[in-house]
């Protein structure tokens, strides 16, 4: 039986869904000869961990209680008496995490699973990789920090997985790694990597005003609470940077040309979400509709995409042929076209749901299982 100790950082939607997946897959994993031993869970303020991280774990009832408390918006510090578990406050959490990494990293191994959306985890991850720990990421920020941080994280390539940083559970990273490791150089990537912006662009293609589409997307839960977090293009830029670095480009976020769908004067520092939705975005409708009409006259459609080719790495609106995989995209799916020596005239196309807590958490779980051979078997 493979016994994989793991510590989860981040108990938002993805983190909670991951814990639920782990519990619901117990019998399946037992048949596969694997046991995922959750020894600790932390949020930005607190850490809950097993009283003896070498032999014990947070039981399934405790994991469900963690999910319940976090779904109510409370901190882990709000957990009551959990028996064999200990709760640390913010001031001591980081120190304790490092103690656990030092204890288990070189001995039994330990998987740090980052499902947060914080840059605060970068310092911890950079240290634990040198302690023999594995790292599994859904959080894009550690991989899109400065090159020094990136180089440290990927310095032990067998011990890091990050499929869910791009395209949720889609096999984007794995596919690229297979091409690169087989000596098939990738020379162009173009993709729609935002379910929100994919939905928005396919809806405005039908003649709907941008303002109405964004409001509808927000009501459907497709956008962040502030839709400008999606419309800025920054999330797509982070995904593009991860892909570009995977191809060997030594660039940072500020090297990427990013087209925002709103001007600076409509940013969060200039107007509230309510003002932006009520009056700001309406003023953008005509310009977007004109761009849609122009594309249609050329036999094309508009898509918000990332393009990586040579030294070029940019994200923004592009005119694309209607009959291309990206041109046929409808709704919130992600689509990625990869061009290489073997996939030159006809690209390798990866398409499917590229967002959602369930899909992303499933991708994280698959990544954890993918590193099981790095952990010792237990009789």
14 appears as a binding residue in the annotation = yes
**What are the DSSP calls for 128-185, one per residue?**
HGGGT-EEEE--SGGGGS-HHHHHHHTTSGGGEE-GGGSSTTSSHHHHHHHHHHTT--
Q: From CA 297, how far away is CA 202, in angstroms rounded?
A: 16
310 appears as a binding residue in the annotation = no
Beta carbons within 10 angstroms of residue 327's beta carbon: 18
13 appears as a binding residue in the annotation = yes
Number of H helices, E strands in the chain: 14, 13
Cβ neighbours of residue 279 closer than 8 Å, sequence gap 6 or more:
none
Cβ neighbours of residue 160 closer than 8 Å, sequence gap 6 or more:
129, 134, 135, 136, 137, 153, 154
352 appears as a binding residue in the annotation = no
12 appears as a binding residue in the annotation = yes
Instruction: Write down the catalytic residue from 239, 257, 294, 378.
Output: 239
Q: From CA 198, how far away is CA 15, in angstroms rounded?
A: 25
Q: From CA 130, how far away is CA 242, in angstroms rounded?
A: 22
DSSP 265: G
Token pair 């990586």 in the structure block, residue: 308
224 appears as a binding residue in the annotation = yes
Decide if 239 is catalytic: yes
Q: CB-hemisphere CA count at 13 Å for 360?
A: 25
123 appears as a binding residue in the annotation = no
Q: From CA 157, how far away is CA 101, in angstroms rounded?
A: 18
80 appears as a binding residue in the annotation = no
User: Binding site: which residues?
Assistant: 10-15, 140, 224
User: Binding site for NADPH: which residues?
Assistant: 140
User: Binding site for L-homoserine: which residues?
Assistant: 224
User: Binding site for NADP(+): which residues?
Assistant: 10-15
Catalytic residues: 239
């Amino acid at each position: 039986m493979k016994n994989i100790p793991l510590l989860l950082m981040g108990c938002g939607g993805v983190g909670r869904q991951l814990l639920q997946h782990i519990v619901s897959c117990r019998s399946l994993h037992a048949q596969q000869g694997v046991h995922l031993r959750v020894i600790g869970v932390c949020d930005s303020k607190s850490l809950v961990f097993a009283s003896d991280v070498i032999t014990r774990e947070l039981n399934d009832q405790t994991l469900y209680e963690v999910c319940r408390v976090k779904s109510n918006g409370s901190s882990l510090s709000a957990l009551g008496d959990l028996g064999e578990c200990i709760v640390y406050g913010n001031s001591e959490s980081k120190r304790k995490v490092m103690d656990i990494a030092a204890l288990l990293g070189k001995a039994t191994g330990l998987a740090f699973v980052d499902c947060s959306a914080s840059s605060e985890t970068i310092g911890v991850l950079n240290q634990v990789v040198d302690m023999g720990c594995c790292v599994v990421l859904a959080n894009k920020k550690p991989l899109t920090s400065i090159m020094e941080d990136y180089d440290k994280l990927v310095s032990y390539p067998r011990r890091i997985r990050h499929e869910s940083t791009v395209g949720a559970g889609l096999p984007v990273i794995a596919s690229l790694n297979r091409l690169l490791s087989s000596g098939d150089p990738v020379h162009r990537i173009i993709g729609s990597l935002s379910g929100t912006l994919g939905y928005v662009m396919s809806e405005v293609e039908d003649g709907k005003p941008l303002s109405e589409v964004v409001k509808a997307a927000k009501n459907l839960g497709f956008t962040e609470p502030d839709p400008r977090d999606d419309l800025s293009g920054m999330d797509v830029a982070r995904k593009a940077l991860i892909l570009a670095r995977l191809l060997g480009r030594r660039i940072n976020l500020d090297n990427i040309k990013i087209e925002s769908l709103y001007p600076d004067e409509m940013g969060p520092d200039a107007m509230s979400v309510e003002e932006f939705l009520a009056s700001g975005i309406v003023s953008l409708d005509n310009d977007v509709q004109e761009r849609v009409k122009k594309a249609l006259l050329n036999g094309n459609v508009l898509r918000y995409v990332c393009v990586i080719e040579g030294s070029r790495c940019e994200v923004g609106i592009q005119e694309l042929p209607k009959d291309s995989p990206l041109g046929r995209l409808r709704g919130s799916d992600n689509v990625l076209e990869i061009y290489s020596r073997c996939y030159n005239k006809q690209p390798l196309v990866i398409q499917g749901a590229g967002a959602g807590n369930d899909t992303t958490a499933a991708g994280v779980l698959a990544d954890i299982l993918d590193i099981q051979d790095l952990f010792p078997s237990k009789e």
